[in-house]
């Protein structure tokens, strides 16, 4: 039987820098979608076999990748500022599930 366990991937942050809703609607939509990521580890909690000792939430790498792609599609000043801050300055790691064999 295989059980998922996370492995720390390349550093990638979760969405934190925000712009006012409506002013940069497309960029805000990217961040809102990321905020609803189904697989997250909240600050100072443990989940999926991983302990998050950071002050911010860590998201599954798929969610961070979708955020990055969304911001690239928007491709305006706001999306570039958010993307730079998020992926190059803050550099929050994401996590992935890996499967390992376990005897039962």
CATH number at residue 52: 1.20.90.10
Domain that includes residue 57, residue range = 2-101
Rounded to whole angstroms, the Cα distance separating 71 from 67 reads 6
Please tell me the predicted confidence (pLDDT) of residue 1.
42
Residue 86: pLDDT above 80?
A: yes
What does the longest C-alpha to C-alpha distance in the chain come to? 55
pLDDT at 37 over 50: yes
Overall domain count for the chain: 1
pLDDT at 4 over 70: no
Considering 24, 34, 39, 60, which one is annotated as catalytic? 34
Q: Is residue 34 annotated as part of the catalytic site, yes or no?
A: yes
* % of the chain residues with pLDDT over 90: 60
Integer Cα distance of 86 and 102 in angstroms: 37
SS3 95: strand
Q: Where are the alpha helices (DSSP H) in 2-60?
A: 25-35
pLDDT value of residue 41 = 96
Tokens representing 17 are 């820098």
Which carries the bigger pLDDT value, residue 101 or residue 12? 101
């Amino acid at each position: 039987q295989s059980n998922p366990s996370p492995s720390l991937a390349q550093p990638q942050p979760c969405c934190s820098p925000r712009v006012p809703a409506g002013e940069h609607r497309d960029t805000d939509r990217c961040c809102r979608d990321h905020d609803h990521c189904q697989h997250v580890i909240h600050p100072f909690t443990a989940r999926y076999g991983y302990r998050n000792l950071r002050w911010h939430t860590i998201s599954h790498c798929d969610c961070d990748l979708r955020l990055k792609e969304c911001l690239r599609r928007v491709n305006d000043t706001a999306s570039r500022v958010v993307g730079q801050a998020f992926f190059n300055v803050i550099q929050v790691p994401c996590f992935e599930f890996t499967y390992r064999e376990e005897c039962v």
